């Protein structure tokens, strides 16, 4: 069961989200908040596993709320909802390790898909946001740079692009998680990337893989 909380300063938006997620039997809304202070108080008592956060909360900022919540040791995942986001905001979301970004213009099934993906421990960034993020965060590469990867490193890169964890990659290739970490380190070094999120975005944006949702 996914214990979901909604943080948005617009009552109509909260109502719309509630109507969408209420169609799913495995999602339970534990509460709603209109501002960060209400949200923090509610999180202390409701203990949500996932919070939908509006990027622009009137005079407040959704990303700053997430930063503050994490500093206060709230152990939950976050999906940012936005109509538009600047490159700086997208970079900040990535730096904060935000698990998901979904456009408010998305179809209901897209939001449900994002909630499902993030609840499984993976990341979901709307393709529009991903494209903008890649333009500002991922270095250009040449074919020779990609050719520097060993066959196993290339396979691990593809798995990163599919959103798989180190444990899942280790199981898939029958290697230890320590070995997976070594492969990831080599991939980042050879492709001049900073972290596994950039590696995953790299694989997706360059058409090496398509994001897939693993079965339960």
CA atoms of 209 and 5, how far apart (whole Å) = 32
Stretch 25-42: mean pLDDT: 94
Encoded tokens for 206: 């360059």
How far are the Cα atoms of 118, 198, 216 from residue 101, in angstroms, in the given order? 10, 15, 22
CA atoms of 121 and 76, how far apart (whole Å) = 11
Residue with tokens 């001049």: 192
Stretch 44-55: mean pLDDT: 94
Q: Is the pLDDT higher at 117 or at 207?
A: 117
Q: Is 182 a residue whose pLDDT tops 50?
A: yes
pLDDT tens figures, 140-162:
555 557 788 898 999 999 998 88
pLDDT tens figures, 104-136:
888 899 999 999 989 988 888 887 776 666 665
Q: Enumerate residues 6+ apart whose C-beta is below 8 A from 133.
A: 87, 90, 91, 94, 125, 201
- Cβ-contact 45, 18 below 8 angstroms: no
pLDDT tens figures, 82-110:
887 777 788 888 888 899 999 888 889 99
Stretch 190-200: mean pLDDT: 84
Query: Which pLDDT value is given to residue 131?
Result: 67
Give the SS3 label for residue 104.
Answer: coil
Q: Is 215 a residue whose pLDDT tops 70?
A: no
Q: Is 173 a residue whose pLDDT tops 70?
A: yes
- Cβ-contact 91, 133 below 8 angstroms: yes
Percent of the chain with pLDDT over 90: 50
Encoded tokens for 69: 């919540």
pTM score: 0.67
CA atoms of 72 and 93, how far apart (whole Å) = 18
């Amino acid at each position: 069961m996914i214990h979901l909380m909604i943080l948005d300063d617009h009552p109509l938006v909260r109502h719309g989200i509630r109507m969408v997620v209420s169609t799913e039997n495995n999602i339970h809304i534990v509460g709603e908040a209109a501002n960060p202070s209400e949200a923090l108080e509610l999180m202390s008592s409701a203990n949500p596993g996932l919070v939908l956060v509006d990027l622009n909360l009137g005079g407040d900022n959704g990303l700053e709320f997430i930063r503050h919540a994490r500093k206060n040791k709230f152990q939950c995942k976050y999906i940012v909802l936005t109509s538009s986001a600047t490159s700086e905001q997208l970079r900040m979301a990535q730096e904060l390790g935000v698990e998901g970004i979904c456009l408010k213009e998305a179809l209901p099934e897209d939001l449900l898909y994002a909630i499902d993906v993030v609840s499984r421990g993976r990341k979901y960034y709307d393709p529009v946001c991903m494209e903008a993020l890649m333009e500002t965060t991922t270095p250009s590469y040449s074919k020779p740079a990609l050719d520097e990867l060993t066959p196993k490193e290339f396979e691990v890169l593809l798995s990163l692009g599919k959103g798989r964890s180190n444990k899942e990659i280790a199981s898939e290739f029958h290697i230890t998680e320590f070995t997976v970490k070594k492969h990831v380190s080599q991939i980042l070094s050879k492709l001049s990337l900073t972290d596994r999120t950039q590696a995953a975005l790299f694989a997706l944006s360059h058409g090496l893989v398509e994001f897939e949702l693993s079965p339960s």
